[in-house]
Structure 1
Amino acid sequence: MYFDITPDDEFIKTKKVPGPTKEEIRALVISKTRLTDEDVVVDVGCGTGGLTLEFAKRARRVYSIDMNPDAIKTTRSNLEKFGLQNKVDLIENEGLAALDDIEDFTKLMIGGSGGNIDNIIETGYLKLPVGGRIIITSIVLETATDAVHMLKELGAEPEVVTLNVSRGTILDRGVMMKALNPITIVSAKKI
Structure 2
Amino acid sequence: MLEDKDFIKSCDVPGPTKEAIRAIILYKSDVKAGDKVVDVGCGTGGITCEFAQRAESVTSIDINPEAIEMTQKNLKKFGLGDNVTLICNDGAEALKDIDNMDIAIVGGSGKKLEDILDLVDSRLNSKGRIIITAILVDTKVEAVNKLKELNYNPQIMEVNISKGRVLDRGIMMMSENPIAIITAKKR
The bucket for the TM-score relative to the shorter chain is: over 0.9
TM-score (norm 2): 0.98
- Residue 85 of structure 2 is matched in structure 1 by 89
How far 1:183 sits from its partner (Å)?
Answer: 0.2
Give the one of 15, 18, 38 matched to 2:14. 18
Q: In structure 2, the residue corresponding to 1:41 is in which secondary structure?
A: strand
How far 1:96 sits from its partner (Å)?
Answer: 0.6
Distance (Å, rounded) in 1 between the aligned partners of 2:69 and 2:19 = 21
Q: Is the aligned partner of 1:73 residue 2:69?
A: yes
Q: Is the aligned partner of 1:60 residue 2:56?
A: yes
| C-alpha RMSD of matched pairs (Å) | 0.7
Q: In structure 1, the residue corresponding to 2:125 is in which secondary structure?
A: coil
Which is richer in strand?
2
Q: In structure 1, the residue corresponding to 2:92 is in which secondary structure?
A: helix
The one-letter code matched in structure 2 to 1:57 is Q
CA contact (8 A) 2:98 2:123 kept: no
- Residue 40 of structure 2 is matched in structure 1 by 44
Post-superposition Cα deviations, 1:15-58, rounded to whole Å, max 9, x if no partner, equal 11111001111111111111000000000000000000001010
Moved over 4 A (4+): none
Distance (Å, rounded) in 1 between the aligned partners of 2:99 and 2:151 = 21
Give the one of 147, 151, 154 matched to 1:155. 151
- Residue 35 of structure 1 is matched in structure 2 by 31
- Long gaps (5+) in structure 1: none
Distance (Å, rounded) in 2 between the aligned partners of 1:98 and 1:89 = 12
1:78-117 alignment runs, 5 A limit: 78-117=74-113
